[in-house]
Amino acid sequence: MPYPLKSKKSSKIIFWSGEKISDEVQEKILEQLTKIREAVESKPVPPAPATPEGFTAEFMAFLSKYGVIGLAIAVIIGGAAGSLVSALVSDILMPIITFFIPGGAWREASLAIGPVVLSIGHFIGVLIDFLIIALVVFLIMKQIEKTPLK
């Protein structure tokens, strides 16, 4: 079907072929074009919510808007979980690792290059702690992702 055009001489829609359409069809086309225009045109931005009055109300709005309380709880739980994993590493895993490494105090090993002393043992110990903590966090997150939400 050819594209309709509005004739300059009349208010009727005609096709390229010269075929005229009925008023009923013309009204349906105009309704559809109006719906398309309304869907495409930008809508006015809704007004911003009223700002709370008073310092306390403003502070509570800030806490709820940015989820600060949830973030604070996550930081506290994360700190406690970090302490738990650090205890796991230092009190359980590292003594087992130290048992298999001769010399015992490998965390105190250092390398002296002239006046500079590099604490290699401490760095390796912290690196091992980090890798074990990262592994534990990975395993916990993997388990959480498997658990379906209800």
Both 36 and 82 in a single domain?
Answer: no
Residue 125, classified by CB atoms within 10 Å of its CB into exposed (0-12), middle (13-18) or buried (19+), is: buried
Per-residue confidence (pLDDT) for residue 7, from 0 to 100? 47
pLDDT at 130 over 60: yes
Question: In this prediction, what percent of the chain has a pLDDT beyond 90?
Answer: 3
Domain range spanning residue 28? 4-40
- Pick 95 or 5 by higher pLDDT: 95
pLDDT in tens, 56-90: 888 888 888 888 888 888 889 888 887 887 788 77
pLDDT of residue 1 exceeding 80, the answer is: no
pTM of the predicted protein model? 0.42
Residues 35 and 60 grouped into a single domain: no
Q: Tell me whether residue 129 is in a domain.
A: yes
Domain check: are 61 and 128 in the same one? yes
Q: Is 50 domain-assigned? A: no
pLDDT per residue as tens digits for the range 131-147? 887 887 888 888 888 88
- The verdict on 74 and 25 lying in the same domain is no
In a domain, 108, yes or no: yes
Amino acid identity of residue 94, one-letter, is: M
Q: Are residues 62 and 23 in the same domain?
A: no
Specify the pLDDT at position 6: 52
- Name the residue with tokens 């359409």: 21
For the chain, give the mean pLDDT: 78
91-100 confidence digits (pLDDT tens): 887 788 777 7
Looking at the structure, tell me whether residues 76 and 105 fall in a common domain: yes
**Per-residue pLDDT at 48 exceeds 50:** yes
